[in-house]
Chain A
Amino acid sequence: MAQNIAIVGIGETAYSSNSGMTGPQLLLQACRRAIADAGLKTTDIDGVIVPRIGTNVRPFEFGFYLHCPLRYVAYCGMEAGAGAVNSIEMAAQALADGKAKYVLIFTGANQKSDAKNSNPGKFHMDDPYKRNLEIPFGFYPQPVYFASMTRRYMNIYGDVTEQMGRIAVNSRRNACLNDNAQMKKPMTLEDYYNYPVLYDPFRIVDCCLVTDGACAFVVTTEERAKDLPVKPVMVRGIATAGIDHITEYFFSQETEPLATAARKTAPIAFAQAGLTVDDISIAEIYDSFAVNTICQLEDIGFCGHGEFRDFIGDGSRISLEGDLPLNTHGGLLSQGYIFGMNHIIEAVKQIRGTANEGRQVKNVKSAFVSGFGGWFQGSLILSL
Chain B
Amino acid sequence: MSENFSLPDLSWPVAIPFWKSCQEENIKFQYCPKCDAWQWYPLFECAECGGEFEWREVTGRAFLFSWTTVYKAFLPGFEDKIPLIVAVAEVEGAPGVRFISNIINAKPEDLKVGMELKIVYEKVDEEHTMPRFEIVK
Interface residues of A, Cβ cutoff 8 Å to B: 121, 128-129, 131-141, 144, 147-152, 155-156, 196-202, 247, 250, 252-253, 257
Q: Is the CB of A151 within 8 A of B74?
A: no
* Chain B 94-137 interface 0/1 with A at a Cβ cutoff of 8 Å (1 = within): 00001011100000100111000000000000000010000000
Which of A129, A138, A141, A152 has a CB less than 8 Å from the CB of B81?
A138
User: Which of chain B's residues 41-65 have a Cβ closer than 8 Å to chain A?
Assistant: 41, 47, 65
Which of B9, B72, B98, B111 has a CB less than 8 Å from the CB of A131?
B9
Residues on A with beta carbons closer than 8 Å to the beta carbon of B8? 131-133, 136
Residues on B with beta carbons closer than 8 Å to the beta carbon of A196? 71
User: Which of chain B's residues 71-87 have a Cβ closer than 8 Å to chain A?
Assistant: 71-75, 78, 81, 84, 86-87
Q: Is the CB of A132 within 8 A of B100?
A: no
Interface residues of B, Cβ cutoff 8 Å to A: 5-9, 12, 15, 40-41, 47, 65-75, 78, 81, 84, 86-88, 98, 100-102, 108, 111-113, 130
Which of A131, A137, A202, A257 has a CB less than 8 Å from the CB of B66?
A257
Residues on A with beta carbons closer than 8 Å to the beta carbon of B68? 144, 147-148, 150-151, 199-202
What is the distance, in angstroms, from A195's C-beta to the closest C-beta of chain B? 12
Name the residue on A nearest B87 (C-beta): A148
Which of B7, B71, B72, B111 has a CB less than 8 Å from the CB of A136?
B7
Name the residue on B nearest A253 (C-beta): B98
**How long is the Cα–Cα vector from A156 to B65 in the complex, in angstroms?**
11
Number of A-B residue pairs with CB-CB distance less than 8 Å in the complex they form: 94
Residues on B with beta carbons closer than 8 Å to the beta carbon of A149? 66
Q: Is the interface of A mostly helix, strand, loop or mixed?
A: helix
Residues on A with beta carbons closer than 8 Å to the beta carbon of B130? 136-137
Residues on B with beta carbons closer than 8 Å to the beta carbon of A137? 86, 100-102, 130
Which of A135, A156, A197, A200 has a CB less than 8 Å from the CB of B5?
A135
List 28 contacting pairs A-B, 8 Å CB cutoff, sorted by A. A128-B12, A129-B41, A131-B8, A132-B8, A133-B15, A134-B100, A135-B75, A136-B8, A137-B100, A137-B102, A138-B70, A138-B81, A139-B88, A144-B68, A144-B70, A148-B67, A152-B113, A156-B113, A196-B71, A198-B70, A198-B71, A199-B70, A200-B69, A200-B71, A201-B68, A252-B100, A253-B40, A257-B66
**How long is the Cα–Cα vector from A155 to B109 in the complex, in angstroms?**
11
Q: Is the CB of A141 within 8 A of B100?
A: no
**How long is the Cα–Cα vector from A382 to B117 in the complex, in angstroms?**
48
Residues on B with beta carbons closer than 8 Å to the beta carbon of A250? 41
Residues on A with beta carbons closer than 8 Å to the beta carbon of B69? 199-200
Q: Is the CB of A132 within 8 A of B15?
A: yes
Name the residue on B nearest A140 (C-beta): B74
**How long is the Cα–Cα vector from A48 to B90 in the complex, in angstroms?**
44
Q: Is the CB of A138 within 8 A of B6?
A: yes
Using A138-B81, A155-B113 as known contacts, say yes or no to A199 and B71 having CB atoms under 8 A apart.
yes
Name the residue on B nearest A141 (C-beta): B74
Using A148-B67, A200-B71, A252-B100 as known contacts, say yes or no to A247 and B47 having CB atoms under 8 A apart.
yes
**How long is the Cα–Cα vector from A250 to B65 in the complex, in angstroms?**
15
Q: Is the CB of B108 within 8 A of A200?
A: yes
**How long is the Cα–Cα vector from A252 to B101 in the complex, in angstroms?**
11
